[in-house]
Amino acid sequence: MAPSYTPMMEQYREIKKQHPNELLFFRLGDFYEMFFEDAEVASRELEITLTSREAGLNVRVPMCGVPYHAVDNYIARLINKGFKIAICEQVEDPKQAKGIVRREVIKIVTPGTVLSETLLTDKGNNFLAVLYEEDATLSLAAADISTGECLWEVFTGAYRLATVCDYLFRLMPSELIITSRIEELSNLNDFIAQRIPHCVQTTIRVDDLNILAQLLRQHFGADELPASHSAEMASGYLLYYLHQTVKNDLSHINRLSQFNANEHLIIDASTLRNLEITRNMHDGGKKGTLLSVLDFTKTAMGGRLLKKWLEAPLLNPLHIDNRQSAIGELLDKPSIRHELQEALGEIYDFERIVTRIEIGSANARDLISLKASLSVLPQIKRCTQVTETKLLSGISQTLQTHTDIVTLIENAIVDNPPLSVREGAMIKPGYDLELDELRTMARNSKEWVQNLETQEREKTGIRSLKVGYNKVFGYYIEVTHANSGSVPPTYIRKQTLANAERYITPELKEFETKILGAQEKIVNLEYHLFTQIKDRVKAHIKEIQQTARSVAELDSIYSLAEAAGRYGYVKPQINTREIVIKDGRHPVVERLLLQEMFVPNDTVLNHKDNEVLIITGPNMAGKSTYMRQVALLVLMAQIGSFIPAREASICPVDRIFTRVGASDDLATGQSTFMVEMNEVAQIIKHATTKSLIILDEIGRGTSTFDGMSIARAVVEHIKDRIKAMTLFATHYHELTELAENSPVVKNYSVAVKERGNEVVFLRRIIPGGADKSYGIHVAQLAGLPKKIIERAHELLSELEEQHGVNRLDSPAPIAAATGTQSLFQSTLAEDLLALDIMTLTPLEALNLLYKLQNQAKQEVGQL
């Protein structure tokens, strides 16, 4: 016999049928309750008590619940575990309901549609991405509903999925929607599992695709719609899913933009990861990244934009120059920079605040934060009005101050409103006449109660009589049992206590009705006025969003200027031919060195005589740091940033490729060598003559002769066919022979100084190749036992005799010691010649002499 459920439980079961893939939070009074399997799952995941509830005749079902006022914390924990939550609320006044109160799901919270501050990263986006494929065209659409950003892109060709994966790695979506058959779905799933494991995948289908096109045209202007049908479908699916989950008009998503790859330096997933540009390889966090060094932004909007700049640098030299000029102007005007720092520090994340206002989840504190943010805009506008460069003066001209909104909120909302908008106490006196009258009535009620108490004491002669109130029984007159004989017949008994009786009178009952009605009216009127204020702000959302974008751009420019000022960065010249860097430094590593000076290095790359640089030398000597350094300096130059160098002239590159380090891809069963070969294959497929390639130790994951053959073949292919500017580090010294037969290949090595059995790595990159790897010396530095080191030397001598190796006692860097010393001396000479001795104080001269001596000692290996 089927269970007979109560009407409330039948209502729950009917709603749950419509949301089988979500945990249903069912509002009952002050709690959200879950039943059946949902209760068991939530109890386990949230570690809360699982109970049961009578759900009908002889029927009990599992149940657990969370208080409504703390629901965001519980939702956050479930979202982080990949769950989706359907929020079911009462949508009918219980006083007017006939039978059970009507309930509906008002929103579905998914990883890609969250708006709670507890689930969002201040300086990071939270993207929802959609993929749609048809006719060998793969389209991506993505939106961050917390900021209103919405973009699309189309990918074609045999390698379209690999390019999509690169975009996804940059976006790091928390949710991915699959809307059609994806040809290489298994490869996509492997990539998501390995590189974006937190991303939740959902598959949806719409039978009538005309619905998607209609939805898209209703939401965006005709000039913003994608020309590609595939991209149109992806964008339509994106809007469809958002409407199904957020259940709002989404008017804050009012711009649909194409991410045009032709305007940006492309950074694939491997390079973004290997160079640790915005996320480190340890835990995916910000620490130890280029972003961590450059981020001095004061606003969340600026922090998000700076991250986008680093992940998508510019290609157009004019655009790069515009940013450089703006950064340079703020660098040269520290007083303006300081004033901007203070003003920007007062700004809240109002880009997300206006989203909450539009969606309907904002409270009065959000309006106060919005007012505080907009209030400093006149100061920012004054700062930028005295600037001269194109970007800064453009921001000044377009920046709106929104004084009408500031005045509205200032006049309407109290400075420290409560968290809830349903309890009143948030509208200022004087804003609304009716509200003021109701409040006056409520205030006078205390005086009226006091007068009534005095009056009744005199009339009855009962000195202990008092008039009180509680939420259960309302207003009452309390008389002790000892004085019950003096109670007038007009008193009506209401409640008996242990030592007293409580009464009501017609006069007190009339007063109670009036006062309680006034309190309810006050709360309802305040909420109504608050809604009106929000609607007036909503009418200006588009303009406020534009202001947020202007503030973000200004904040990002300020951040790069601040970094340049603090770290002594210089402006790189932009050319179209070559990369020339003098005394370049690694921007991240130099910040981590506390006890020693970072050794700078020069770089020359061009298509004439320095196209491919073969770099040899021992492990731990600095080859990888040097190559990463070159890539990062080029990238910094292409976002318009100043760079750590003495001087530089850099041509923009279309792509940066890196194959650095070794890592197994165990999730997909790939070895280190297979990962290495996959990454090299991608480089060979996509690199152009305008690219920058960084390759570190290709071929080490297989046998010596196999690895050497692969490494040489790769270099020859790049040299002969791709002709990209390339840094190639290797332990295969035989590759240095390539420089003998090609004018574009040059050999470089890391300077090393030997003193007996001791080796000192000088960290300088010098012309010429190394003739040995110093592997045993590195092992000794790592702490291997002395006996192992001695035995290794013996075995090495035997192997060299067997294979007829003629090993020089001194490595090439030391054989070229004269050249090395000359290089160092010329650096010191330049520093000395640049000094204005006549302006130095005695203390400055002493400090400088000490610094130069330490530099000389380090360069000759005495430190």
Q: Which residues are annotated as a binding site?
A: 617-624
SS3 797: helix
d(CA 819, CA 824): 9
SS3 59: strand
Q: Which token pair is 752?
A: 């090393």
The string over 197-216, giving b where at least 16 C-beta atoms fall within 10 Å of a residue's C-beta and e elsewhere, is: eebbebeeeeeebeebbebb
Which pairs count as long-range contacts for 117-122, CB under 8 Å and 24+ apart, including other chains? Answer: 117/352, 118/72, 118/73, 118/76, 119/75, 119/76, 119/79, 119/80, 120/146, 120/352, 122/300, 122/303, 122/349
SS3 613: strand
Q: Based on the number of CB atoms within 10 Å of its own CB, is 736 exposed (0-12), middle (13-18) or buried (19 or more)?
A: buried
Residue in 731, 505, 497 with CA at minimum distance from that of residue 614 = 731
Provide the CA 187 distance to its chain's centre, in angstroms. 26
* Start-to-end CA span in the chain (Å): 88
One-letter amino acid at 494 equals K
d(CA 524, CA 813): 82
Q: Which token pair is 158?
A: 């045999």
Residue 830 burial (CB count, 10 A): 12
Region for 461 from its dihedrals, namely left if φ exceeds 0, alpha if ψ lies in -120 to 50, beta otherwise: left
Q: Which residues are annotated as a binding site for ATP?
A: 617-624
d(CA 168, CA 161): 10
Q: Based on the number of CB atoms within 10 Å of its own CB, is 813 exposed (0-12), middle (13-18) or buried (19 or more)?
A: buried
Alpha helix stretches (DSSP H) within 400-540: 403-412, 433-460, 506-538
Written as one string, the DSSP assignment of 357-376 is HHHT---HHHHHHHHHHHHT
Strand partners, 144: 149
Yes or no: say if 636 and 587 are a contact pair by the CB < 8 Å rule. Answer: yes
Residue in 534, 544, 557, 553 with CA at minimum distance from that of residue 148 = 544
Residue in 379, 432, 429, 373 with CA at minimum distance from that of residue 405 = 373
d(CA 89, CA 525): 22
d(CA 564, CA 553): 17
Phi/psi of residue 797, nearest 5 degrees: -65, -40
d(CA 626, CA 540): 50
Q: Which token pair is 535?
A: 């609607």
Yes or no: say if 693 and 719 are a contact pair by the CB < 8 Å rule. Answer: no
Residue in 517, 494, 363 with CA at minimum distance from that of residue 441 = 517
One-letter amino acid at 800 equals E
The string over 598-612, giving b where at least 16 C-beta atoms fall within 10 Å of a residue's C-beta and e elsewhere, is: bbbbbbbbeeeebbb
Region for 672 from its dihedrals, namely left if φ exceeds 0, alpha if ψ lies in -120 to 50, beta otherwise: alpha
Q: Radius of gyration of the chain from Cα atoms?
A: 36
One-letter amino acid at 213 equals A
The string over 743-759, giving b where at least 16 C-beta atoms fall within 10 Å of a residue's C-beta and e elsewhere, is: ebbbbbbbbbbbeeeeb
Collect all residues with Cβ–Cβ distance below 8 Å to 257 and sequence separation of at least 6: 149, 150, 151, 152, 224
Place of tokens 């080796």: 759
d(CA 721, CA 352): 49
